[in-house]
A and B are shown apart, each in its own frame.
Chain A
Amino acid sequence: EAGVAQSPRYKIIEKRQSVAFWCNPISGHATLYWYQQILGQGPKLLIQFQNNGVVDDSQLPKDRFSAERLKGVDSTLKIQPAKLEDSAVYLCASSRLAGKETQYFGPGTRLLVL
C-alpha cells in the first residue's frame, strides 16, 4: 500500500511570497489532516477534512493560510503572504475515518521563509 505523498519536500521563499503544498493521501482514506511542526515542537493540527468538507480549522490562520480538498482526494495548503514565523515542516496525514483510526503521516514539506 502506497503511503501519504507530499510535494515538494523542500521549499525556500522570501517573506511576503506565496507558496503551495500538495498532499495525496492513502487510497480510500476519507480523512485528511494538515499539521504544522515548528523546529523542536510537536506537530500542531491546522485543518482536518472529512472527504471534501472541513471538520476542524480552528487553528488555521485564515488571514494567510487556506486549504482545499477538491473531490475528496488530493489536498493543497497555501500560504499567502508568507511570514518568517511560517518556517516549519508541513505534515499531511490521512486516516480511513475520522477520530478513532490511526493517522498515517507523509514525509512533510520543509519550508524556509527568508
Chain B
Amino acid sequence: DAKTTQPNSMESNEEEPVHLPCNHSTISGTDYIHWYRQLPSQGPEYVIHGLTSNVNNRMASLAIAEDRKSSTLILHRATLRDAAVYYCILRVLAAGNKLTFGGGTRVLVKP
C-alpha cells in the first residue's frame, strides 16, 4: 500500500491558520492525494483532494509540492469545530483506487 507519513498531533489556537504536513515520497504519477477528517464519535468526512495543482474549497486549501512527494492541508482560520483527526491518503490507481487510511494527525484547537 502507498504510504503517507503525518505527525501524530498538532495544536493550534482558535482563529489562527493550521498547516498539516504529509509526506508521500513513493507517490506515482496517477495517485491522487486525498484528505479526510474524523470528528469525535463520527465517521470520516471528505475534506479535499488534488493531483498536481493546489486546490481550494470552502473547507480548506491543499498545497502540493512540485515533486508531489509532500503536501500540506491548510485550514485558514481554525475553529473549535475543526478539532479532529485528519487523514492524508493516497488514492492509488494500481490498487483499484482504494483508500488506505493511516494513523492521521490529531488536531487540537485551543480557545
Contacts and interface: CB of A to CB of B under 8 A. Distances in A.
Interface in B39-84: 41-46, 49
Contact of B43 (A48, A91, A102): A91
A112 B19 CA distance: 36
Interface residues of B, number: 21
A98 B103 CA distance: 23
Contacts, number: 50
The secondary-structure label for the interface of chain A is loop
Interface string B70-111: 000000000000000101000100001111111110000000
A48 B45 CA distance: 18
B87 A45 contact: no
Interface of A: 4, 35, 40-45, 48, 55-56, 91, 93, 98-100, 102-108
A99 B96 CA distance: 7
Contacts of A40: 103
B43 A44 contact: no
7 contacts: A45-B98, A55-B96, A93-B43, A100-B32, A100-B97, A103-B46, A108-B42
Contacts of A91: 43-44
Given A99-B91, A107-B43, A42 B96 contact: no
A55 B98 CA distance: 11
Given A93-B43, A104-B46, A108-B43, A44 B101 contact: yes
B96 A56 contact: yes
